[in-house]
Amino acid sequence: MNNYTIINMLSTYKKKPAIGLNGFAVEGWSAIISVLKKHSTDKSTVVIDCYTGISHEELQTQITQLESDLFIHTKDLFIPESDATVLTARFMTDDVLFGYNSNISLVEYFDSKKLKAAQQAIQEAEGRVVVFGHGAQLVANADTLIYADMPRWEIQLRMRKQEATALGIDNRKEPFSLQYKRGLFNDWRVLDKHKRTIYEKVDFWIDTVMPQAPKMIDRQTFFAGMDKAAASPFRVVPFFDPAPWGGQWMKDEFDLESSKVNYGWGFDCVPEENSLLLDVDDIIFEMPSVNLVYTRSSALLGKPVEARFGKDFPIRFDFLDTVDGGNLSLQVHPTTQYARDHFGLPYTQDESYYIMDAKEDAFVYLGLKTSVDGEAMIHELERAEQGELVFDADKFVNKIPTKKHDHFLIPAGTIHCSGINAVVLEISSTPNLFTFKLWDWQRLGLDGKPRPINVQRGKEVLNLDCDTAYTMTQLVNDVEVVVTGDGWVEEKTGLHKSEFIETRRHTFSVPVTHYTADSVNVLNLVEGEEIIVESPTDDFEPMIIHYAETFIIPAAVEAYRIRPHGASVGKTCMTIKASVRI
């Protein structure tokens, strides 16, 4: 009998967590248009700005009910697609996966003559004017400003269905990887930069994630939600995706759609891509969770963290499931300097593997074996990339058996790979996509095509000094007891001294008080069925957390208490907590 078990036959994992509050919310186009008509006069200017991924056809059809004397769609004011392609070429690069972070401003997409002519027409208009589309706020001073937002995960789903156009370019027929690349390196950065300038000006926010089922909240409700989230524990909406190596653990444990062949990834703390739900008097409003980071960065992150990372959320939690699946690719992440030079990133993807669960034969590849000839290994990887041989990972890389609650530290430049039959809680810095695959076990992607291998990039960042002795003493279960009490223990489990994330594990059967210490805290319940998070001074509403749920504690909370709850009362629970070293 092995040590792998499904803890909850009836899943308690909450897939749609929401922040409850009172406020203004309406749903349905009829109600939304009615509100907008009342809010605007017959001679006012109504501006509907938007993110990528929205259904332009649906919004335009509905917005025309405002019966304007002048309707302007910003796409008609943009430079031609060919010019937009030239404008963004240096950021898109020729690489199949990687671009360079854009510094373009949204106004650069506008044809200056067309923009000036539109602004003149607005000044001369005698009746209601409606301006709609990306950057609409740049065209006119709004009497009523509306923003139609869209979470990045939903955009990705629409990209896969060829339903999402890029900024100024219709690329719906391109492969998903190229659509995502354009969004990640250019479009989302351009639109986020624009959105950060107008938060205080927006009168109404529209959620169109569910087609033909929109919701709308007003400015006061939006900021009430931001204020509540920034002062209390909260969760973002997790999302799950199949993978070529994906497993079956999450499907069972989280009660996911059984028709999917597997689930390899589970993203439950990636604020740039996750959604945040507001439950406004029983109307569920969905928005990108990054709105919270942009509007309440100091309270959320903590002033020292904000000073270092700006309006970036620096901690990422996600699941990697290989139970009854396959090995991940053998890979390495770029060093900080490489990430700066080649991608325009301020920091890189340092990470760690915390083992949530494992079968008896589970293992992790980590670090090079002692006395490995680095040049010989690179040569064999290059030949394997060309299909000339099957790369023998066991010959060069440490293959380390693993069990539940092991913690493996993976600084940038370290060769690594989660093997089959493990569930990894990946704790890392936020930048995503920046993985250089060195070997992928002769495997095809879910699209039936070979996945890109990056030996040429990988060899430029690979730490050849990370041998067996270094790996076993500094990267494997580097656990240190910090403090103990009656019924609880706090341990330091990492991360490595070259990484900026600190992790602490608490094992407890009694209430334990935590302190944010000027940094946002991200936690996961890695053992136990249920806990409750409370304020020692009743400053926020208690929050119940179930097994494997990730939750975020804003720095502004300062102190919070966690104790076993429900079925876990009288039993031992365990959390892993990440924060930024200050």
pTM above threshold 0.75: yes
pLDDT at residue number 562: 98
What mean pLDDT comes out for the span 151-168? Answer: 96
pLDDT at residue number 432: 66
pLDDT tens for 494-547 read 899 999 999 999 999 999 999 999 999 999 999 999 999 999 999 999 999 999
Please check the confidence at residue 50 and state whether its pLDDT lies above 60.
Answer: yes
Please check the confidence at residue 1 and state whether its pLDDT lies above 60.
Answer: no
pLDDT tens for 6-27 read 444 578 999 999 999 999 999 9
Kindly list the distances between the CA atom of residue 430 and the CA atoms of 159, 266, 345, 427, 500, in Å, as whole numbers in the listed order. 22, 15, 11, 9, 12
Query: pLDDT averaged over the chain?
Result: 95
- Looking at residue 402, the DSSP 8-state letter turns out to be -
pLDDT at residue number 7: 43
pLDDT tens for 240-293 read 999 999 999 999 999 999 999 999 999 999 999 999 999 999 999 999 999 999
pLDDT tens for 410-461 read 999 999 999 999 999 999 987 666 799 999 999 988 888 888 899 999 999 9
What mean pLDDT comes out for the span 130-156? Answer: 97
Q: For residues 569 and 559, what is the distance between their CA atoms, to the nearest angstrom?
A: 22
Q: How confident is the model at residue 345 (pLDDT cuts 50, 70, 90)?
A: confident
Please check the confidence at residue 54 and state whether its pLDDT lies above 50.
Answer: yes
Rounded to the nearest 10 degrees, the angle between the axes of helix 29-39 and helix 56-63 is 50
**Token pair 């810095």: residue:** 429
What mean pLDDT comes out for the span 106-126? Answer: 97
Query: Who has greater pLDDT, 346 or 134?
Result: 134
Kindly list the distances between the CA atom of residue 300 and the CA atoms of 39, 359, 516, in Å, as whole numbers in the listed order. 33, 37, 11
> For residues 298 and 361, is the Cβ–Cβ distance under 8 A?
no
| 258: Cα separation from own chain's centroid | 24
- 3 state DSSP class of 275: strand
**Over pLDDT 70: what percentage of the chain?**
98
Measure the N-to-C terminal CA separation of the chain; round to a whole number of Å.
44
pLDDT at residue number 431: 62
Q: For residues 398 and 400, what is the distance between their CA atoms, to the nearest angstrom?
A: 6
List the 416-418 sheet strands across, edge first.
Answer: 397-401, 363-368, 416-418, 330-332, 436-439
pLDDT at residue number 6: 44
Q: How confident is the model at residue 67 (pLDDT cuts 50, 70, 90)?
A: confident
pLDDT at residue number 362: 98
pLDDT at residue number 500: 94
Please check the confidence at residue 394 and state whether its pLDDT lies above 70.
Answer: yes
Two structure tokens written together for 330: 């053998």
Please check the confidence at residue 4 and state whether its pLDDT lies above 50.
Answer: no
pLDDT at residue number 8: 44
